[in-house]
Amino acid sequence: MERLDKLLAGTGKWSRREVKAWVRQGLVRVDGRLAASAEDKLDPAAAIITVAGETISLCRFTYVMLHKPAGVLTATEDRKQPTVLDLLPPELRRIGLAPVGRLDKDTEGLLLLTNDGELAHRLLSPKYHVDKRYFARVDGELSAADTEAFARGMTLGDGLECLPAGLELLPGHACIVTLREGKFHQVKRMLAARGAPVLYLKRLSMGPLTLDDSLAAGAYRLLRAEEILALYRACGL
């Protein structure tokens, strides 16, 4: 059993103070009855709560797809530069969301944010074989020899060991890179090691989750139930 104000504040839509105000105004109902107090305790798995006539989901975790633009840090806070959390509304910024993995400041594309720590851990762990796909434009020529080098796995000049990865060559000095890990600047470092420095980089997908084409850079949406389920299945949950 949990307090009503805690449950509603946990959705990220309101603070506890706001919830108490809604209760006093008679805007909150539990199982069809007016809530008597914001401190009422109830079973979140069974209770049906409405606020101003809207049924409120009490899902334990939140999952957000963000089309990260260039120029924004993949961080939860920074005193000097904008972060990916700054692109979200206040109700989503105060529920403990964190980026799953990191995209460089100048990298665009799919970024998942969630407060589901176990899912985040598994999506990033090479143990669970969740592929991350990137589109890159490079300054240089790539060949079948580079594809083979990626497939074998690479040890870079600074000693960084990279697991086998996919490299699909595209026309116009472009390629698709597929990784099962996410080491610091890995895509850029692997391509630079093959004589093809990255000019532009965009993450396209993470496992079964693909960037929504309708999302402009800087836009976001909540994941659909089937997308969440697919992520869980992809990493054995």
Look at residues 124, 98, 105 and name the one whose alpha carbon lies nearest to residue 206. 124
Tell me the C-alpha distance between 29 and 55, whole Å: 9
Task: Return the SS3 of 234.
Answer: helix
Q: Which of 40, 86, 104, 212 is catalytic?
A: 104
Tell me the C-alpha distance between 89 and 112, whole Å: 16
User: Do 108 and 100 meet the contact criterion of CB atoms below 8 Å apart?
Assistant: no
In the numeric block, the tokens 């949406």 are attached to: 221
**What residue type is 139 in one-letter code?**
D
Tell me the C-alpha distance between 186 and 176, whole Å: 14
**Known active-site residue 43:** no
What positions carry a catalytic annotation?
104
